[in-house]
Amino acid sequence: MDAVKSKPTIDRGIAYGVGAYLLWGFFPVYWKLLRDVSALQLLGHRIGWSFLFLIAIILFTKQWNAFRKRALTLKTLKIYLFAAVLIGVNWLTYVWAVNAGYIVETSLGYFINPLLSVLLGAVFLRERLRRAQWIPVGLTVAGVGYLTWVYGSIPWIALLLAVTFAMYGLVKKIAPLSSLYGLTLETGILFLPALGYLIMAEGSGTGAFLHSGGISDSLLIGTGVVTTIPLLMFASAAKRIPLMIVGILQYIAPTMQFLLGVIVYKEQFDMSRLAGFAVVWSALIIFCVENFLHHRQPLRPLPELGEG
């Protein structure tokens, strides 16, 4: 009976996950349209408009009292302060890297992310790491080591994106609030610092909003929608399916971003870098095949925490 009930939940979780990663795959196109806006201002607008969009949803659906009761406790605030810092660092790194011409390296970060999610699931959630899964983990370490040698330095953009988003996924897995309440609280924690920075930028004469034309202003306002929708879908997926399966789905977005970086935006990608990426891709293929073979039987998700 429980197994039958769990299948629709898992199916919905997979659908949410696929949708989130498809939207994230097209993110570079959106941020490139705002390349003339500084990364810090883009971050401020992402946070500000996302928070306002989420609060509007809560008020429109008459959930304010429930949100306030569940979210505004010291224990919950501590958990989501950590999540807010992680997602803030991730957003800032990503939008800066895209507009600085490092889309390919951002894709590397999200290729690494699935295997890092597996390790975090094993360490913190006791999701057993099977013997065969150590092979792709080892290959990923080798691939990153080789790319460090090729680049002449550690690929810090890729590693920072991978670490912050994998840790964010772990926090969302164990956090007590629903995806809507959680993301509202995270952006709410960051709202005042973001607003303060945007006011300072406006006062110094460097503010972009209302000074760059109607299209740019509309895109800045739209950052709230394009940010929150895939994150809500991702958070819902993380609640419904094991973290390891979340990791499998994560190859969708970096593949799309990699192709955009190389084919559309013509970023440098020579044979030496291809070799390093090929090692990471091989690890990902082995990981996905192993998981497919292991999970042909019905899946059961971890218990959902605090849905509301």
pLDDT in tens, 119-161: 888 778 777 777 777 888 788 888 888 888 887 788 899 999 9
Please tell me the pTM assigned to this model.
0.82
- Amino acid identity, position 106: T
pLDDT on residue 140: 82
pLDDT (0 to 100) of residue 295: 62
According to the model, what pLDDT value does residue 234 have?
80
Residue 191 predicted with pLDDT over 50: yes
Does residue 209 come out as left (phi exceeding 0), alpha (psi in the -120 to 50 range) or beta? beta
pLDDT of residue 50: 95
- Mean pLDDT for 176-197 is 93
Dist CA 244 CA 43 (whole Å): 29
DSSP state letters, the chain: -HHHHHHHHHHHHHHHHHHHHHHHHTHHHHHHTTTTS-HHHHHHHHHHHHHHHHHHHHHHTT-HHHHHHHH-SHHHHHHHHHHHHHHHHHHHHHHHHHHTT-HHHHHHHHHHHHHHHHHHHHHHS-----GGGHHHHHHHHHHHHHHHHHHTS--HHHHHHHHHHHHHHHHHHH-SS-HHHHHHHHHHHHHHHHHHHHHHHHHTT---TTTS-HHHHHHHHHHHHHHHHHHHHHHHHHHHS-HHHHHHHTTHHHHHHHHIIIIIS-----HHHHHHHHHHHHHHHHHHHHHHHHTTSPP-PPPP-S--
pLDDT at position 199 is 96
Contact partners, residue 94, CB within 8 Å, separation at least 6? 27, 31, 106, 161
284: tokens are 């990902």
| Mean pLDDT within 13-26 | 89
Residue 49 pLDDT? 96
Weakest mean pLDDT among 79-83, 290-294, 302-306: 302-306
Model pLDDT, residue 231 = 79
Nearest 5°: CA angle at 79, between 243 and 112? 35
pLDDT of residue 6: 63
Confidence of residue 2 (pLDDT cuts 50, 70, 90): very low
Confidence of residue 1 (pLDDT cuts 50, 70, 90): very low
Q: How far apart are CA 113 and CA 244, in angstroms?
A: 11
Name the residue among 37, 280, 284, 17 with its Cα closest to residue 159.
280
Q: What pLDDT is recorded for position 52?
A: 96
Residue 7's pLDDT is 66
Name the residue among 168, 179, 206, 171 with its Cα closest to residue 86: 168
Condensed to tens digits (0 to 9), the pLDDT of residues 202-216 reads 999 999 998 888 899
**pLDDT of 307 over the 50 cut:** no
Instruction: Write down the pLDDT at residue 306.
Output: 36
Q: How far apart are CA 55 and CA 132, in angstroms?
A: 45
* Total residue length of the chain: 308
State the pLDDT at residue 173: 81
d(CA 13, CA 34): 32
pLDDT of the residue at 277: 86
Flag the least confident range among 37-46, 81-90, 141-150, 217-226. Answer: 141-150
Average pLDDT of the chain is 85
125, exposed or middle or buried, with CB in 10 Å at 0-12, 13-18, 19+? middle
Q: Quickly tell me which residue has 């929708």 as its tokens.
A: 229
Per-residue pLDDT tens for 230-283?
878 887 787 777 766 776 677 788 889 999 999 999 998 888 888 888 888 888
At 159 the pLDDT is: 92
HSE at residue 48, side-chain half, CA atoms within 13 A, is 17
